[in-house]
Amino acid sequence: MMSIALWSACKKSDFQNLELEERTAEFAFPLFTTDLLLQDLLFNLQGDSLSDDTIYVNDDNTLTLFYSGDVAEKPASDIFKFLNNTVPIPLLDTVYDNPIQSPDGVTIRIADISSGTIAFYLQNNTPDLIQGYFEIPQMSKAGVIFTQAFIALPGSFYLSDTIPLNGYRLESSSNTLTFKYFAFTPTGERIKMPDFPIAITNALTFKYVEGYWGFQWYQLTRDTIEININQTELKGDLKIKDPKVTMRISNSWGFPTRGQIKYLSFIGQNGEEIPLVSSGVFEQDSFSYKDFNYPAWILGEVGQTKFTDITLDGTNSNIADIFNSQPTRLIYEVDGISNALLDPDLIGFITDKSKIALQLRVELVLEGSVRNFGAEQTLKLDFNSFGSLDSANIESVEFKLVTENGTPISSDMQIYFRDENEQILDSLFADGFRTVIRSAPINSDGITTGITRTEEFIPMTAAQFEKIRLSKDAFLKTAFTTANNGETFVKLLATDKITIKMGIKVKKRFQ
C-alpha cells in the first residue's frame, strides 16, 4: 500500500568542498535529491480489472482512499433452470399438452430460446405410407408457427434431423406447450398412430424468460471477498479514525428479491473471526434481511441494473474496530426470497445476463495513526554511472543521508544492494533498520507545523564498497510510524512534503 520512489529526480547534492590531506584526496559524488509529496509517498495502489482504487485529494488537502474489493456474482441461470436437459416428450394423443418444466413458484408465459434442439421419432406399424407434420402452436419464429413435416414408410420408423431452436419464442398462458401431430394415410384420412410419437428436446437455453414469480426460498450465495488494504508482504498497525464501508448490490434480476443475511463476518490477519455488529442497517424480525432494488417489468426496465447500497460506519456498526484490525477477508452467506410480499399479480423476468453481484467499497479519510507499517520498493542503481573512479587504494567510504520532513511520519529504513540476479550483496546499515526520517512537529489538530531536518553519516569499509559497486539495484524496506510513536491521530495532507538527499564521499590514497 505504501511505497517510495527515491531515485526518481536527481540533481547535484550539497556536500562540503573537498578536504585535501597529505597524500590523500576525497571525492564526493551525488546520488540523488528528490522531493516527495505525501500523496506520492504513501500509496502504491495495485489496481486490477475488478477494482477501482484511487486516492482523492479533498478541498482541504486531506486525502481519501477509495478501495474496492473483488466482485462476487450469482447469475440467475445458476438458480432458475428451464428445460435444460434432454427431455423425451411422448405425444399420447394427436393433441397433447405438456407442462413446461420450470422452477417452483415460476409460471412461464414468454421465453426466447437462445440455443438447443428438438427432434421427432415416429414408429409406423401400419401397412400404409404415412405422411404429415408436427406442430407446436405456442412456439414461433418471426411470426411463423413451428412445424416439421415427416414421411414414414410402412413397417419402419421415422427420425427427423436435429432441428436448432435458436430464435424461437415460446408463448403460453398456462405454463404448458401444446404438441400436435397430423398423420394421413394415402387416402387423406387423418389417423392416430398405434404407437405414439416422441418429441425430444435437448439443452435448451433462454436469453429471456417472462412470467409470474411467486414466493420461493432459495440459496443465493456463500462467498469470500478478499480485502487487501496493506498491499505488501510487510505487516503493521494501521488505525483509521472514521472508516466507511459500502456494500453495493447490483441486481438485474427482474423481480423483487429479498436477501436474508445468514452469515457475515470479517476474518482478521491471524485467522480470527470478527462478526459484524450493526443496528438499523438490516431489517430485523426472525432474521436479518435486505430487499434489493430491481428492474421492474411493469416499468419497461428489461436489461437495466439497479443498485442497493448498504453503508456501514461508526454510527451504525463496529466497522471501525473491524478495519483497524486490518481484516483480510469478508465471508458472507445470503439466501434469497422471491416475491416475499406475496404479490399475486407480479410479472417478472430474467435474461441470460441477469445476475446479482456484491462488491465491497471502502472509504478511508487518511486521518489516523500508523505504527511499523511496511513498504518496500526496488530502486534503479548503478555505481558505474557516477564516474570511473579507480577503486584501488580506497581508504574509506561514507554515505551521507539528509532528510527535510514536513509530514507527520517517521520512518525506519534499510537499503539492500543487489546484483543483476536480485541477490543481496550488502546493506546500507550494518546494524539493521534505522530511523532516518523523523516526523515534523504537529499541532492539536494533528497537522504539521514545521520541518524536521536530519543528517545521517554511514561509514563503509573499502572492501564493502568494492562489493556494492557491482550493484544493479537497491531494495528499500521501510516501516512508517506517525507522530508520537503512532499514539496520536494525525491528518495526512496532499501538500505535505519530504526532501531526501543522498551522496557518497570516497577517500583515496595517492600512489
DSSP 410-430: EEEEEEEEE-TT--EEEES-T
Q: Looking at the domain assignment, is residue 72 inside a domain?
A: no
Residue 119 β-bridge partners: 200
Return the C-alpha cell found at 445: 489538530
pLDDT score recorded for residue 471: 80
Residue 144 β-bridge partners: 141
Of 7-16, 247-256, 336-345, the one with minimum mean pLDDT is 7-16
Q: Would you place residue 189 in the very low, low, confident or very high pLDDT band (cuts 50, 70, 90)? A: very high
Q: Which residues contact 417 (CB under 8 A, 6 or more apart)?
A: 381, 424, 425, 426, 427, 428, 467, 468, 471, 474
Residue 102 and residue 123: Cα distance in Å, rounded? 30
Closest among 112, 114, 85 to 101, alpha carbons compared: 85
pLDDT in tens, 126-165: 999 999 999 999 999 999 999 999 999 999 999 999 999 9
HEC sequence for 134-190: EEEEEEEECCEEEEEEEEECCCEEEECCCEECCCCEEECCCCEEEEEEEEECCCCCE
Higher pLDDT, 4 or 211: 211
pLDDT score recorded for residue 203: 86
Q: Mean pLDDT over residues 57-80, rounded?
A: 76
Residues 309 and 383 occupy one common structural domain: no
Instruction: Tell me which range, 196-205, 310-319, 435-444, 460-469, is most confidently predicted by mean pLDDT.
Output: 196-205
pLDDT in tens, 486-508: 667 777 777 778 787 878 888 87
Burial of residue 278 (CB within 10 Å: 0-12, 13-18, 19+) is middle
Residues 339 and 390 occupy one common structural domain: no
Residues 404 and 334 occupy one common structural domain: no
Last residue of a domain, one of 198, 213, 228: 213
Residues 389 and 486 occupy one common structural domain: yes
> Exposed e or buried b for every residue in 24-55, given b needs 16+ CB within 10 A?
eebebebbbbbebbbbbbbbbbeeeeebebeb
Last residue of a domain, one of 347, 365, 383: 365
> Exposed e or buried b for every residue in 320-334, given b needs 16+ CB within 10 A?
bebbbbbbbebebeb
Residues 226 and 190 occupy one common structural domain: no
Which domain range does residue 104 map to?
80-213
Distance between first and last Cα of the chain: 51
Q: Is 5 helix (H, G, I), strand (E, B) or coil?
A: coil
Q: Looking at the domain assignment, is residue 73 inside a domain?
A: no
Last residue of a domain, one of 181, 213, 245: 213
pLDDT score recorded for residue 112: 95
Question: What is the tally of structural domains in the chain?
Answer: 3
Closest among 62, 108, 48, 15 to 496, alpha carbons compared: 62
pLDDT score recorded for residue 42: 55
Residue 329 and residue 275: Cα distance in Å, rounded? 12
Return the C-alpha cell found at 197: 410419437
Q: Looking at the domain assignment, is residue 306 inside a domain?
A: yes
Q: Mean pLDDT over residues 366-392, rounded?
A: 60
Under 8 Å between Cβ of 114 and 352: yes
Q: Looking at the domain assignment, is residue 9 inside a domain?
A: no
pLDDT score recorded for residue 77: 82
At which residue does the C-alpha cell 480485502 appear? 227
Q: Looking at the domain assignment, is residue 55 inside a domain?
A: no
CATH code of residue 408? 2.60.120
Return the C-alpha cell found at 58: 479533498
Q: Which residues contact 85 (CB under 8 A, 6 or more apart)?
A: 202, 203
Q: Which residues contact 103 (CB under 8 A, 6 or more apart)?
A: 79, 80, 81, 82, 216
Q: Would you place residue 509 in the very low, low, confident or very high pLDDT band (cuts 50, 70, 90)? A: confident
Q: Would you place residue 430 in the very low, low, confident or very high pLDDT band (cuts 50, 70, 90)? A: confident
Residues 202 and 270 occupy one common structural domain: no
Closest among 116, 127, 84 to 102, alpha carbons compared: 84
Mean pLDDT score across all residues of the chain: 80
Residues 345 and 290 occupy one common structural domain: yes
Whether 370 has a pLDDT exceeding 80, the answer reads: no
Q: Looking at the domain assignment, is residue 4 inside a domain?
A: no
Whether 1 has a pLDDT exceeding 60, the answer reads: no
Residues 278 and 189 occupy one common structural domain: no
Q: Looking at the domain assignment, is residue 389 inside a domain?
A: yes
Residues 359 and 222 occupy one common structural domain: yes
Return the C-alpha cell found at 328: 483480510
Residue 461 and residue 396: Cα distance in Å, rounded? 5
Q: Which residues contact 257 (CB under 8 A, 6 or more apart)?
A: 220, 251, 291, 292, 294, 336, 337, 338, 356
Residues 125 and 178 occupy one common structural domain: yes
Q: Would you place residue 229 in the very low, low, confident or very high pLDDT band (cuts 50, 70, 90)? A: low
Residues 355 and 283 occupy one common structural domain: yes
pLDDT score recorded for residue 210: 94
Residues 250 and 327 occupy one common structural domain: yes
Q: Looking at the domain assignment, is residue 279 inside a domain?
A: yes
